[in-house]
Amino acid sequence: MAPEQRHDVNVRLLVTQGKKVRKRILREVARSFDKKS
Q: Are residues 4 and 32 in contact, defined by beta-carbon separation less than 8 angstroms?
A: yes
Distances (CA, A) of 36 to 17, 18, 20, 28, 30: 24, 25, 25, 13, 10
Query: What pLDDT does residue 31 have?
Result: 77
pLDDT tens for 1-37 read 888 888 888 878 877 776 676 777 777 777 776 766 5
Query: What pLDDT does residue 16 have?
Result: 78
Query: What pLDDT does residue 21 have?
Result: 67
Query: What pLDDT does residue 36 have?
Result: 61
| Alpha carbon distance, N-terminus to C-terminus of the chain | 20
